[in-house]
Structure formats: C-alpha cells, structure tokens
Amino acid sequence: MEFLTPNAFTYLAVAVIMFALGAVGVMTRRNGIVVFMCVELMLNSVNLSLVTFAKMHEVAGTEGLPSPAANGSMLVFFVMCVAAAEAVVGLSIVIALFRNKLNIDINNLNIFKW
Amino acid sequence: MLPILLFWVFAALGIAGAIGLLFNRNPVYAALSLVVNFFSIAGLYLSLSAEFLAAIQILVYAGAIMVLFIFVIMLLNLQEEQGVTKFDTRRGIAFIFGLGFIAEMVFVLKDMSQNSVSGTYELGKVEAIGSELMTQYLFPFEMISVILLSALIGAIVVARKYTHS
Amino acid sequence: MEILYTLIILLPLLGSAIIGLLGLLSKPFSRQEGLIGAIGTLSVAIPFVAVVLAFLNFDGEAIAIPLFTWMKAGQLTISFHYSLDQLSLLMMLVVTGVGSLIHIYSIGYMKNDPGFYKYFAYLNLFIFAMTNLVMGSNMVVMFLGWEGVGLCSYLLIGFWYKDMLKANAAQKAFVANRIGDFAMLVAMFMIYRDLSVEGAEVTFSYKEILAHNFGENTSWIAFLVFVAATGKSAQIPLFVWLPDAMAGPTPVSALIHAATMVTAGIYLIARMHPVFEASPEVLTIVVIVAALTAIVAALTAIAQNDIKKVLAYSTVSQLGFMFMALGAGAYTVAIFHVVTHAFFKACLFLGSGSVIHAMEHMHTVEDPQDIRTMGGLRKYMPATGTTFWISTLAISGIIPLSGFFSKDEILASLYFHGAGFDTYKIIWAVALFTAVLTAFYMTRLTILTFEGEERFPKEQKTPHESPATMTIPLWILAGLAAVGGFMGLPHFTHLNWLGHEWLDKIIENNHHIHEHAEEAGLGLEIGLIALSAILAIVGVLYARNFYKKYGLEGDLRIERSLGGLYRAMQGKFYFDEFYQRTLIGPFTWFGQNVMSWLEENVVDGAVKGVSEGVASIGEVFRRLQSGLITNYVLIVSLGALGMLTYLIFG
C-alpha cells in the first residue's frame, strides 16, 4: 500500500498530465470555444500544482511577512479571478468573431498573416 | 485509507475529464467533460485540505465559468467539428510535444515523491485566507475588483451588436 | 615676440578661413574684392614682417615655437612644434615675401573673377600649408604641409574647373604627386620602424631622425625621400604634371609651380642631408636624374610656343639644376638657387601673366598664351617688358645678375666634386650645355614676345600695360632677381654670406668641393666662372641675333637642321604618350575589361548573392508565418520545450 500513498509527486504528475492534455488541445482543436476551455484546463492544472507546492512547503510565515504557503493559496485565488475575467472577455471576442465570420473555426482566422 | 482512495479516484476522473475535453467533437460534451475535470480538481483540493479553494473552484469554475461557456455554445448553436479525424503533421507534432512535456516533467519531478502532502493545512482554511487577503494582500485584492470591472465593461463593448449606418 | 611667431603660422589659416567661409556664406562679401584682397594680402604680409623681424633678431639659435601635442599613441608623440632655424627662416622669407607680392599682384590679375574669394582662400591656405612644410620641426607636421600644398596646388590648377582640360590637369598633378607622397609615407614608416625599436619615444623630429643611425636602411630612406621629392619638385619620372599645371591662374603658377611648392623637395633633401650624405649611391642617382631632367626640359622648352609652357619647362630644368647641386652634396648651393630662382621665375611668370592679361583684353587673338601671335609688346608694356628682360638675363646667367652666381656655384660644385675624372665631370658638361640652352630658349621667348614685328591683329585695340598692383610686384621681383645673387658670392672671394655666415651653420656640405677647388687653384676656379659667364652671354647674343633676324622663321630653320630631334622636342620627348601607353592605357584597359568583369561577376555577384540568399531564406521562413494562431502556439510551445530540455539536460 505504501506506493499508493499520494505524495507531492503524484499530485504534480496529475497536474502535468492535465497541462499536457490542455496544451495539446489548444494546438489541435479548431473550435474556438473548445480551445478556450483547454486554456482553462491548463490554468487549473497549474493551480493544482501551486496548491500542492503550498501544502508541501507549509511553514508559518515570520511576523508581518506572508508565508510561502499563504503565497500559494493567494496566487491560486488570483489566478481564478483573472481566469474568470479572461473567460468573460474571451467569450465576448468569440461572439464578436462569430458575428463577422459566421463560424469560430480558428483555422479560418489567419488574419495574423502580413 | 479513505484519503488514498479519494485521491486516486479524483485523479482518474480529472484525467478522464481532460481526455474527454480533448477528444469530444461535440462542444457541449467537451464542456461537460471539463465540468467533470473541475469537480475532480475541487476534490483534489479537498484532499490537500485546501477547503476554501475547493469551494471557490466549484463556485467559480464549475458554476460560473462553465455556465458561461455552455451558454455561449448554445447561443451560437455550434455544430460538431468537421473532418477532424484526418491525421496531419501539426497534430502529430502536438502529441509528440505533449508526450515529451510529460516525460521531461516527470523526469524533473520524480524526486518530489519524498515530500509528503498529508497532514493539516492551516492556511487552506477560510479564516486564514480571509485574514491574509485583508492584510498582506489587500492591494492585489482591490486590484482584482478593478480587473473584473474592466473585464465586464470590455465584454459588453466587444460583444455589443454594432449597427452599421 | 613669441606671439608674433605664432602668428606666422596662424594668420594665413585664419585669413583662409575668414575669406573662404564668409565668401561662401555671404554673397555681398564675396564681391568685395578690395576687402578680400586686403585680408588675403595682410594675412601673408604680416607673417612676412614677423619673419623679417625674426631674421633680424636671429642669434644663431633655432627659435622653437611649440604649440600643442597633436596625438599620442604608445611610443609615438606627434606635436605641432615649429622651429625657425637658418634654413627655414630663409625659406620662409621667400615663401611669405614672394607670397605677399603675388597676393598683391593677384588682386589685379583676378579682378572680376566670380571665384575671387575662393582664389584668395586657397592661396592663403597654400601659404599656411607651406608654412607647415617649412617650419614644422618634425616630419609629420612637414608631411601635413607637404600634402596641404599638394591639395592647394590641385585646387588652384583646377580653379577654372568648368574647363575639362584644366580639371584633368589638376587631376594629373594630384595623381603624380600622390605617387611621390606614397614613397614619402613608406620612408616615414621605415623611419618609425627603426626609431621605435629601442622602445624610445618617437617624435619624428628632424633632430631625432638625423641623430639616428639607420644602418643599411639609410639608402632606402634617402631613395624614398628622393622619390617623394621627384613628385613634388617635378623631376623625371614624375615631372609630367608641372607643364600641365600651367592651366591654373598665372600668379598660381608663379607662386606654387615656380617659386615655392616645387622647391619643397629640395628643402626636404637639404633638411635631411645627413641621411643622403650617408648614402652616396643615392646622391649619384639624384645627380643623374637631375641632369637628365634639366637637359630634357631645356630641349623641350626650345620648341614650345605657349609662353607659360616654356616657363614651365624652364622651371623643370632649373629644378634639375637644384637637384644636381643636391646630388653633388652642395646643399647650400641648391638652396641658394632656390632663392634666386624664386625671384626671377616668379617675376617671369608674373610678367607672362601680365602679357596674357593684355592679350586677353584685346579679344582678337585666339590663344592669349601663344607667342606666335605676340611680338613687339615692349613698346606697349614697358614695365612688363623691362622686368621680363631683367629676369631673362638673370635666369640665363648673365653676370652680375642673381642667376649667374647661383648657377655658377652649381657648376663649380659639380666640377670640383671629385678630384679626377668621374661621373660628376660628365654631369658638369651636361649642366654647362643646359645652361647655354637656358640662355637660348629664354632669349627666344623674350625676343618673340617683346621684340620684333607685331604679329597680333592691330585693327581694333592695342595691348596696354597692366595696373600698378601688377607692375609693382614685377619691379620688386626684378630688382631682387638683379641683386639677389650678391648674397652668395663665389667661394674664393670669401664673401659668400649665404653659405659661410648662414646656412653652413646648420648644413654640412660636402667639404671635398672646397678642398678640390683649392687644390685646383684660383686660376681654374676663375676660369670656370669666366667660361660659364661667356657661354651665357654667347647663348643670349646668339639667340637674340638669330631671332631678331629670322623671327618665327628661326624655329623652322632649327627644325630643318635638327630634324627628328626637334620633333621629339616639340612632342615633349613623348613622356605623356609613353605613360599613356605603358601605364595609363593598360590600367584603363584593365579597369574597363578585367575590373568591370570583376565588378559585374564578383562584386555584384556577391551583393546580389547576399540579397538573393536572404530572399530565399525568407521564402522558407515565410511559410512559418501562416497567420494561424494554432501554428504559432505550436512553435512557441516547441521553443519552450526546447528551453526546458536545455535547462534540464544542458
């Protein structure tokens, strides 16, 4: 049973696998919204790794200064907020795009050329 | 025994959700796979005794953001992706990249198995987070409200229907 | 006094800057000919006064004028240090004195020329460069002046640059001078190499150079300096530029191409005489080249019809005389001839300028410089004619005018160089013959110009005498040409002020000359003097009678009796054609064929290859810019993965 006990590595491995899947999704999927969701997945996997590190390094902060553990949790919190903001803006862009192009296939979006 | 079981279940569910997101051609199914993934991550947070973050994960991600996604998908009445089965070079490179990334990270992180993550996590509790937010992180916390406000305004401006004169 | 000496150097530069810049910027100023002429003349005349004061107060010790350090690099320290010793004082007297006169003359000569201000700016700049050349106490400052006079010469020969022939003449002068300058640079590099060996500080000052023993390099340094001198002082093989340099305004010919710049080579060799003294084989080369130059130029001068061309070849020939003196080791004598030559040749050139001026104003002659359309001008231009005659007799070596003394000293130095029969005796004979030729062609020139029948069309205007600004310098120069020789009376009189009292203090001549003269006895010495005096008089009288009698027919008679030689003389011994065939032609051919092929295929090929290479690389990488975000993400990710790999395994 010893090898089944979750440790930092197992958590991080899960995060890495999720991150890789999200990244591959960003690169391969053509639907704009799905690409977005893959980005969210990547953000989440990073959050997971941050929490893992925070737990791993759980030490009390010296007086007046934030502890490394608190830093981890805070960062996750802020990432979530930014992710929410990003999702809102991103989705509104998708809507604007759909209005102009009548689809959201990002392979049709080659206006970055020249 | 239970925490061990919980971890493995949630880990398996999370990865399964991610795979579902990657391979489901129907955007709605993909979104639902992602919801599964988000719930699993919330479970993993719980197993790391980060209760506040677990709650937030469910509220913000699984609740708000995913609803927004599904809302947009429904709004745009998106169809399944066409002709995605065809294998092309880019796809191959992307998968190789994914495998390479995982391999390298596992290689780097394998020593992490020495570090235990069991035990209590005082700073994961709501009152600890709350006091940190209101003291050390007061300024960033306030800035987040500004970012959210500007995102709100930006979303309205970008998605607004223009009437061409 | 110190400030006065500094003014000698700075005033000409200041004058040049003021005239040049104001003239360039302000149109009204550029038309103020009186003001410009005054500034230009004063910025040479004041230095002349300063030089005269320095000369009068000279106590035998060189006056040092240190200005500032120019550059310092490791062992090398070059400073703007000037000095006035016997040699440079004498040269400066000539440069600023004749320079002032020619500035005054130019005010009249260049009247109403649109480039009036430019002319005076160049002329002042020339004086500045010449000052550097003569007064610089180290070789680098001298070289600065050396190049500076070359530049001013170029600018002034091509002064009327809209005439293609004149522009070409300027270019020719510049290129010919550059060949010499290159030799000078190599000489300086060699000097530096030898001086810097001991790790000592190198300042390039003459004192340092002349005190150093260059060992086996001495001959090379001497030879290279001589090659440099053949460029600037118009000796075979680089003399071809000087006759063409007559394209410039006539006062320029007088100042630069007769009196001062062309004597720079003689000055330099006199200055560096210990190096030459230590390499007798180079002196032999010098004397042979000089003799060849003198006789070739004198022969050419006989057959020329352009008044300035005759004077130009005469200058080349006289420079040959000076180099003969140098080659004989009689450096003082060479400088003596430089001084007297400056007087009479400047006077002759200015006189020819006056004639050209008069001929131009008649508007009826096609070529105002062709002596075949002159004749009998003395009646109309008494001042010009008289001064021209005086100078002609001086250059011909008529006793007791200045040319007689200096030329006689040269002949004596050549004759007494060795005790027995040697190369120098042959050279002496050649020099004597050239002296007779000089008397002949100069008299021919004067007779055809000023005496005999009037060959110009006379219907409308007659020639008129030039204004006072032009005739006064003529009189002064003619006076100097007449009496200037008394500063260097023959050796046996023991009254040779220039040699004994002045230049011998710093220049060590070949002492054998005097010894051999004394051995040979007073009789032979006086006999030689009498011989050259009589030959000069015979030459002048014969030419006078010949051309008085036959006029222009005389040339035809000479042609008939000399045949092919005369045609060679007329053709200037085909030096230009020779250079055209052997150097310029092949070079041009090389440029047009080989170099243009190289240009098209190698140079252009390289340039085009680079551009095409860039374009084809761009063609490859252009595909990367698909505009698809997905691709960009892929590339960025692969890059990140690569960096990660490097961080982990690298």
CA atoms within 13 A on the CB side of C76: 14
Mutate to test the interface with B, among C635, C637, C646, C647 (most CBs of B within 10 A): C637
Beta carbons within 10 angstroms of residue C526's beta carbon: 12
- Own/partner pairs, C469-473, CB within 8 angstroms, 24+ separation: C469/C104, C469/C105, C469/C107, C469/C108, C470/C105, C470/C108, C470/C109, C470/C350, C470/C353, C470/C354, C470/C357, C471/C354, C471/C383, C471/C384, C471/C387, C472/C104, C473/C101, C473/C102, C473/C104, C473/C105, C473/C350
List of chain C residues whose C-beta atoms are within 8 Å of the C-beta of residue A113: 625-627
Fill in the amino acid letter for C568: A
Please check the confidence at residue A64 and state whether its pLDDT lies above 70.
Answer: no
Torsions phi, psi for C22 (to 5 deg): -65, -40
Closest CA to C228 of C146, C141, C283, C323: C146
Contact A84 B60 (CB under 8 A): yes
Give me the sign of the Cα torsion angle C378, C384, C390, C395: negative
Confidence of residue B43 (pLDDT cuts 50, 70, 90): very high
Q: Is C638 on the interface with A (CB under 8 A)?
A: no
pLDDT digits (tens, 9 = 90+) for C450-505: 988 888 877 667 788 888 888 999 999 999 999 988 888 887 777 788 877 888 88
Write the CB contacts of C325 (distance below 8 Å, at least 6 apart in sequence): C331, C333, C334, C337, C409, C410, C413, C414
Give me the sign of the Cα torsion angle B73, B75, B77, B82: negative
Q: Closest CB to A113: pick one of C625, C633, C637.
A: C625
Fill in the amino acid letter for C49: V
Closest residue in A to B126 (Cα) is A73
Give me the percent of chain A exceeding a pLDDT of 70: 83
Closest CA to C346 of C315, C307, C371, C373: C315
Q: Closest CB to B104: pick one of C634, C637, C645.
A: C645
Give me the percent of chain C exceeding a pLDDT of 90: 49
Give me the sign of the Cα torsion angle A34, A36, A39, A40: negative
Mutate to test the interface with A, among C629, C631, C637 (most CBs of A within 10 A): C629
Please check the confidence at residue A26 and state whether its pLDDT lies above 70.
Answer: yes
CB C201 within 8 A of CB C149: no
pLDDT digits (tens, 9 = 90+) for C453-464: 888 877 667 788
pLDDT digits (tens, 9 = 90+) for C593-643: 888 888 888 888 899 999 999 999 988 887 777 777 888 888 889 999 999
Q: Is B99 on the interface with C (CB under 8 A)?
A: no
Q: What is the DSSP letter of C465?
A: P
CB A84 within 8 A of CB B149: no
| Dist. CA C353–CA C254, nearest whole Å | 9
- Supply the pTM of this predicted model: 0.68
Confidence of residue B163 (pLDDT cuts 50, 70, 90): low
Give me the sign of the Cα torsion angle C315, C412, C542, C484: positive
List of chain A residues whose C-beta atoms are within 8 Å of the C-beta of residue C634: 27
Closest residue in B to C634 (Cα) is B94
The pLDDT value recorded for residue B78 is 72
